[in-house]
């Protein structure tokens, strides 16, 4: 049997999202989260927020996922990271987050933070693998079910 992680890693690329990509960001977002961000949030970040950047991971030219980050002074804050369901389990999230960590460091960030659902064991495992440490709890952070968020951080 062919390892799925091998079959998809041949033609991976990354690129910054533009205003023209908002529809695709929303598509990935709505397929990934129970309470997706609205189109206006992406538009405002990309068009008006000089601290925000969004990067796509593309597989054979298909936008398989994205990661958003705000870099303020020397701290990068991951706003969202999402991989389309049909592309999951192939280490694309890891590749995407590593790329965003590298880009953030190049932009002058010394640390990176994020929030993750307490119940999201797969994401927490990935973040720990990449050196993120637990930093605290945000009680009732997620609006859809009032789930707590674990705050994690890493030195870049």
Q: Any catalytic annotation for residue 142? A: no
Q: Any catalytic annotation for residue 127? A: yes
Alpha helices in the chain (DSSP H): 4-7, 22-32, 39-48, 92-106, 121-129
* Burial 12-51, CB ≥16 within 10 A → b, else e: bebeebeeebbeebbebbeebeeebbeeebbeebbeeeee
Catalytic residue among 43, 94, 115, 141: 115
Catalytic residue among 7, 127, 141, 147: 127
* Active-site annotation, residues: 115, 127
């Amino acid at each position: 049997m062919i390892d799925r992680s091998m079959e998809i890693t041949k033609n991976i690329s990354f690129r910054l999202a533009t205003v023209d990509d908002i529809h695709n960001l929303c598509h990935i977002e709505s397929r990934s989260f129970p309470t997706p961000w609205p189109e206006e949030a992406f538009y405002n970040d990309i068009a008006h927020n000089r601290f925000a950047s969004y990067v796509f991971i593309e597989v054979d030219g298909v936008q398989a996922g994205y990661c958003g980050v705000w870099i303020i002074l020397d701290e990068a804050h991951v706003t969202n990271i999402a991989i389309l369901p049909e592309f999951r389990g192939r280490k694309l999230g890891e590749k995407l987050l590593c790329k965003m960590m590298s880009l953030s460091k190049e932009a002058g960030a010394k640390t990176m933070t994020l929030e993750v659902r307490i119940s999201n064991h797969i994401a927490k495992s990935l973040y720990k693998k990449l050196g993120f440490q637990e930093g605290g709890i945000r009680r009732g952070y997620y609006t859809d079910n009032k789930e707590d968020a674990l705050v994690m951080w890493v030195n870049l």
